[in-house]
Each structure stands twice: as structure tokens, then as C-alpha cells.
């Protein structure tokens, strides 16, 4: 227990690590410190959102602490509301406003898609490559976000394949998307001349890199890196899209 507590105190990244926090909460519960376990997990979930494992542990701790006499669903709904509010405040503070560089890129069908044609929509760009592990880890979450907005005519997701070193990169992308049954609208960046690449225009230093553009063509959010927690990704994308939609 002491070593995990020390990690959580001394390492900023550890504070948002689901595995570490769950491990400490489980350790507390095993030594009869259910309230400590519950409060630790509640605080973590309020800041970082729920996962299946954290919700299950919270549920069992809640039942023990309340002798099974209180409704967990009521508590859980209140927690969801708190998470949503915390997310909203966090991402509101991260909002920026700068003009999105124009681009015209070809999709898998060979059609040209330009940002100018999408004015009036919230556009989500996800820069990725077939060799990028973190990109691929985030894709189940991104697919869930795409599914959530599939009938929303005001939101467009574009997955910009970039920095591929292989000559047959289009073939590799086609195989990858087909094999995984992703419904992503993929665009191909300029691969040979970095100066002409959309990634360069957008100042991308590493992938995955996500950009949310509002209806007027202004970048409102930029973020690099990604986790693999599906619910967390959907929650983040939803909050950013809705904030960008309001302008």
C-alpha cells in the first residue's frame, strides 16, 4: 500500500492512472479500510471518468458501506452529472480560437475533400498512421464517438493518414480499415514533401493528434496522444464537439 501511495503523491501522471488507483482502492478494501477505498475511488472517478472496473468496485464498496440499504443507481447518476460538469469546466478552460489552415485531400474513393466544403459543420481531425500504436489503441473509442454522431449532419470526423513511409501505404490503410471494420472517413496527407503536408500546416509534432474545428472554421481544441479507454474518449470528444458547436 505504502509504495502505491508514494507513487500517487510523487508522480503527477500516476494520479490519473486507472490501474494504480484501482489497485490502491482494492488494497484498502482488503485491509478493512472500505471508506478510504471508496473516497479515493470517488475522487478519482470525478476527475477522470468511470471505467467498467472502477464502477464495479464503487458499487461493491457502496453496498458494503450502506449495508445494502441505499440505491447505487441514484448515487451513480449523481456521479455522472458531477463528471460531466468537471469535464465541461476542464475543456472550457482549454478552448482556443485560431483559424484552421485550409486543406484539400483525397479520400479512399479518390474524391477530394476540402475543409472549405465543410463550413457550417463541427469538424474533428484525427491525424494517424498504420504504424502508430497509440493511434490504433484509441480507435475503438473513436469508432464509438463516430457511431454516436453518425446521424448528426453538423458533425464530420476526418481521419488523416500521415507520415507513412511505405510506397503502398494506401493499400495498407485499406487493409487495416477493412480488417477492423472501422467506418472512418480516411483522407491521405501529402507523404513525400513534409512542407506541403497538412500535418505541417497544423503544427503536428506527434500522432495521434486531434483537432476540433468549429462551424466558422476556427480551431477550438488541439490535443496530442490518447488513451484506450472507450468511455473516456467518447466523453472527451462529445464535450469538445458540443462546446465547439456553441462557438
Instruction: Give CB contacts under 8 A, 24+ apart, made by 114-120.
Output: 115/213, 115/217, 118/156, 119/215, 119/216, 119/217, 120/154, 120/215
Answer for the pair 177, 184: CB distance below 8 angstroms, yes or no.
yes
Answer for the pair 219, 247: CB distance below 8 angstroms, yes or no.
no
CA pair distance 22, 44, nearest whole angstrom: 9
DSSP H helices, the chain, are: 2-10, 18-30, 34-48, 52-65, 72-94, 133-148, 169-179, 198-201, 230-246
Cell 494520479 belongs to 15
- Cell triple for 89: 469546466
Determine the angle formed by the axes of helices 133-148 and 230-246, rounding to 10 degrees: 60
pLDDT at 143: 98
pLDDT at 9: 79
Answer for the pair 189, 160: CB distance below 8 angstroms, yes or no.
yes
- Cell triple for 214: 468549429
pLDDT at 7: 82
pLDDT at 17: 84
- Cell triple for 150: 453518425
pLDDT at 241: 97
pLDDT at 100: 98
pLDDT at 70: 86
CA pair distance 24, 64, nearest whole angstrom: 18
Is the entire prediction scored with pTM above 0.85?
no
Mean pLDDT by runs of 10 across the 247 residues of the chain is 82 81 94 95 88 91 91 93 88 96 98 97 98 96 97 97 96 97 98 95 97 98 90 92 93
Amino acid at each position: 500500500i505504502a509504495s502505491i501511495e508514494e507513487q500517487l503523491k510523487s508522480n503527477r501522471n500516476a494520479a490519473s492512472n486507472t490501474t494504480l488507483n484501482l489497485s490502491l482502492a482494492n488494497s484498502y478494501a482488503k485491509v478493512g479500510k472500505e471508506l478510504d477505498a471508496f473516497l479515493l475511488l470517488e475522487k478519482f472517478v470525478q476527475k477522470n471518468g468511470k471505467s467498467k472496473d472502477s464502477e464495479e468496485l464503487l458499487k461493491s464498496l457502496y453496498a458494503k458501506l450502506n449495508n445494502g440499504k441505499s440505491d447505487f443507481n441514484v448515487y451513480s447518476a449523481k456521479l455522472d452529472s458531477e463528471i460531466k460538469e468537471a469535464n465541461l469546466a476542464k475543456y472550457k478552460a482549454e478552448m482556443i480560437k485560431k483559424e484552421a489552415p485550409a486543406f484539400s485531400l483525397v479520400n479512399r474513393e479518390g474524391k477530394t475533400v476540402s475543409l472549405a466544403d465543410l463550413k457550417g459543420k463541427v469538424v474533428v481531425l484525427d491525424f494517424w498512421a498504420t504504424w502508430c500504436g497509440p493511434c490504433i489503441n484509441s480507435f475503438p473509442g473513436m469508432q464509438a464517438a463516430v457511431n454516436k454522431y453518425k446521424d448528426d449532419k453538423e458533425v464530420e470526423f476526418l481521419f488523416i493518414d500521415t507520415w507513412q513511409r511505405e510506397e503502398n501505404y494506401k493499400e495498407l490503410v485499406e487493409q487495416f480499415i477493412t480488417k477492423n471494420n472501422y467506418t472512418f472517413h480516411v483522407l491521405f496527407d501529402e507523404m513525400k514533401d513534409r512542407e506541403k503536408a497538412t500535418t505541417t500546416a497544423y503544427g503536428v509534432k506527434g500522432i495521434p493528434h486531434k483537432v476540433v474545428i468549429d462551424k466558422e472554421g476556427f480551431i477550438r481544441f488541439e490535443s496530442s496522444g490518447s488513451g484506450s479507454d472507450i468511455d473516456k474518449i467518447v466523453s472527451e470528444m462529445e464535450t469538445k464537439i458540443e462546446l465547439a458547436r456553441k462557438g
